[in-house]
Chains A and B, each alone.
Chain A
Amino acid sequence: MNLHEYQAKELLKKNGASIQEGIVAETVEQAVEAAKKLDELYNSKWVVVKSQIHAGGRGKGKIRGTEQNGVALAKSLDKVKEIASNILGGVLVTKQTGAAGKTVHKILVAQDVYYPGESEPKEFYISVLMDRGTGKNVFIYSTEGGMDIEEVAEKTPELVHKEWIDPSQGLQEFQCRRIAFNLGLSGNAFKEMTKFVKALYKTYITSDAAMVEINPCLKTSDNKIIAVDGKISLDDNALYRHPDLEALRDISEEDPTEVEATNADLNYVQLDGNVGCMVNGAGLAMATMDMIKLNGGEPANFLDVGGTANAERVEKAFRIILKDPNVKAILVNIFGGIVRCDRVAQGVVDAYNSIGNIPVPIIVRLQGTNAVEAKKLIDESGLKVRPAILLKEAAEEVRKALA
């Protein structure tokens, strides 16, 4: 589960990190009020208006049909009004959203933190996440802030540093100092950075985050260290112990069909191909998608019906797949273990009868427990379903159905 920037920043602040202060607005009027308030509270004459969507690249992205960027600096209240009305309700298209873009329902009006002062402002990159290779939590940080970190890692790997955390000891003081030194800091900024690093770690651990990423993290001209942006994704498996964080979920950011699937205990990811599939098990589901592609199709979705596929779930899965107008054929691939194939077959027959006219060919491949009974059930049902037992046969049927 992902948090919005404003939610991430609130969480960071609660855990002791300094942030670029801001106020969320859902209307143009609220945005103007927010700008006034920021001037009052932080003496910020200029403000930054930031679209709140679950995708990166907002600064370079544009609201569809306009030249308005997703993040913009406003030097007057009139400009705040103009930018807010351009953005709110618009569809922001960025490198990460794809062509479909995302509708902006909320903006964050934030203080200007790049003000002039005793020293030059400097941007850094800092994140905490779990390193799969070592099974330990790791800080990844760089002096090259405000940029795509993968690109930095590729072009100048020597500028990307890592600090692994001992699971039994947690983050140590010397590690905070090392990070601050490696970022080239001294004096007050150095002290501020060690505090900032501790606050990030605390945020990461206490919220069971999968990742906390601050890009850019800014040293201001008066030597404060603050989070200008904040990206936090939470470990879905740990949400049960954080009901307060789970309440931050923004359903409007998620694909409605995927939400519907989740509510039905189905694991579904929408893709843009022409062959729908329904499979038990995540690995077999991915393998089935691959096989569809090798046989001339493109997978329309990933769908794992899970280890206890019953007639009801099979029907729900059919209904979800059929919502996609691009689907030209459906491949059901079940390897029955605990799941009995004849029960799944009954589910297919029931779904067919209850949904009525399914306009696309269905290929049903049932293998494993009671596969023979299942095939018989399908054969005798009189439905226009093409049965298969071997994966190879199923692949061949997909090819025929698309021809």
Chain B
Amino acid sequence: MSVLVNKNSRVIVQGFTGKEGTFHAEQMIAYGTNVVGGVTPGKGGSLHLEKPIFNTVLDARNQAGANVSIIFVPPAFAADAIMEAADAGIELIVAITEGIPVQDMVKVKNFLSTKKSRLIGPNCPGVITPDEAKVGIMPGFVFKKGSVGIVSKSGTLTYEAADQVAKAGLGVTTAIGIGGDPIIGTTTKEAVELFMNDPETEAIVMIGEIGGNLEADAARWIQAGGNKKPVIGFIAGQTAPAGRRMGHAGAIIGGAEDTAAAKMAIMQQCGLHVVASPAEIGETVAKVLKGVTA
């Protein structure tokens, strides 16, 4: 098994005919993802990449049976796109768009609280279940099938982790890039929970960043649940100065709890396997899993 996406996912692309949407839709189709069409308001009824274009997400759901949407809409229109997908009853919405205003996301989060949809992102690389479905912008070949779940705030660090896991002779059930913005749809804790409940996932890699308390929340939840599966954790930004935004809108040290050191200490106390160097993620997973099976 896997979480969130698999070979049965019926994916549509919002912002299908734009430059980004087109490029990544092609890549996803080439990977084998079941892309059933896309949405570009005003272009409904025509074809793009040999797939139907719909005017609305509701049309795409009703006519193509879409249950997953990936969003490449520019930041000024992205909040609207997410809410349209949720209103149409799309089960999983993956928002790739970077740079959505915070107040737009306050509205989106509130809107989603009344809907059944799950949002991943925004400002994230997406979700991949190796050999089944890639709903994102990650390089598919890096991810090998296996038993490790990955949840990460950072895109390229997700690829790095997946690559190290593969080089350690292991693979990934699903990798979830949750995004680096101050407001995101699915939290670290929620992603970890999905993996805890997935019978195929034997270990979890949890990659965080400075800023916010998502990793601390997840760590406490893992401990409260009795550390059912080993979790290998890394927090980027041990050398980041306070008060400076490090690329991601959410990656800024505000209070004492926001620092990498504080987060790593909490994770350690909660029984996670914390690595200090990003170069040690793969070998630590291998070591921990060997310990479990031995």
Residues of A participating in the B interface, judged by any CB pair closer than 8 Å = 96, 130, 132-133, 135-137, 150, 167-168, 205, 208, 210, 235-238, 240-241, 267, 269, 271, 273, 279-294, 298-299, 302, 304, 307, 335-338, 367-369, 390-392, 394-395
Q: A238-B101, A368-B163 are in contact. List 17 more A-B contacts (CB 8 A).
A: A130-B103, A132-B212, A132-B250, A167-B107, A167-B109, A167-B110, A235-B101, A279-B156, A282-B247, A283-B153, A283-B248, A284-B160, A286-B239, A337-B139, A367-B163, A369-B141, A392-B279
Min CB–CB distance B51 → chain A (angstroms): 21
Counting chain B CB atoms within 10 Å of each CB, the highest count among A136, A281, A338 belongs to: A281
Q: With the chains together, A338 CA to B136 CA distance in Å?
A: 11
Show 30 residue pairs from A and B whose CB-CB distance is below 8 angstroms, ordered by the A residue: A130-B183, A133-B213, A135-B110, A136-B106, A167-B107, A208-B102, A237-B75, A237-B100, A237-B101, A238-B101, A240-B76, A281-B154, A281-B247, A282-B180, A282-B248, A283-B153, A283-B209, A284-B155, A284-B157, A284-B236, A286-B239, A290-B239, A290-B278, A291-B278, A294-B276, A298-B239, A302-B244, A335-B156, A367-B160, A391-B164
> Is there an interface contact between B106 and A130, defined as CB atoms closer than 8 Å?
yes
- Which chain B residues border A236 with CB–CB below 8 Å? 249
> Is there an interface contact between A302 and B246, defined as CB atoms closer than 8 Å?
yes
Q: Which of A240, A299, A367, A391 contacts B278 (CB 8 A)?
A: A391
> Is there an interface contact between B102 and A286, defined as CB atoms closer than 8 Å?
no
Q: With the chains together, A298 CA to B240 CA distance in Å?
A: 11
- Which chain A residues border B105 with CB–CB below 8 Å? 135
- Which chain A residues border B210 with CB–CB below 8 Å? 286
User: How many A-B residue contacts, CB cutoff 8 Å?
Assistant: 171
Q: Which of A205, A280, A291, A394 contacts B156 (CB 8 A)?
A: A280
> B29 near A: Cβ within 8 Å?
no
> Is there an interface contact between B183 and A287, defined as CB atoms closer than 8 Å?
no
- Which chain B residues border A273 with CB–CB below 8 Å? 239
Q: Which size bracket describes the interface of B in this complex?
A: 35 or more
Q: With the chains together, A284 CA to B155 CA distance in Å?
A: 8
- Which chain A residues border B245 with CB–CB below 8 Å? 269
> Is there an interface contact between A293 and B139, defined as CB atoms closer than 8 Å?
no
Q: With the chains together, A298 CA to B238 CA distance in Å?
A: 11
Q: With the chains together, A394 CA to B278 CA distance in Å?
A: 12
- Which residue of chain A lies nearest to B155 when distances are taken between CB atoms in the complex? A281
> B152 near A: Cβ within 8 Å?
yes
Q: With the chains together, A30 CA to B260 CA distance in Å?
A: 47
Min CB–CB distance A327 → chain B (angstroms): 15
> B89 near A: Cβ within 8 Å?
no
> Is there an interface contact between A391 and B139, defined as CB atoms closer than 8 Å?
no
Within 8 A of A (CB), among B89-136: 99-107, 109-110
Q: With the chains together, A191 CA to B129 CA distance in Å?
A: 58
If A150-B255, A283-B153 touch, whether A289 touches B240 (CB-CB below 8 Å) is yes
- Which chain A residues border B76 with CB–CB below 8 Å? 240-241
Q: With the chains together, A279 CA to B278 CA distance in Å?
A: 14
> B72 near A: Cβ within 8 Å?
no
- Which residue of chain B lies nearest to A166 when distances are taken between CB atoms in the complex? B110
> Is there an interface contact between B160 and A391, defined as CB atoms closer than 8 Å?
yes
- Which residue of chain B lies nearest to A150 when distances are taken between CB atoms in the complex? B255
> Is there an interface contact between A132 and B182, defined as CB atoms closer than 8 Å?
yes
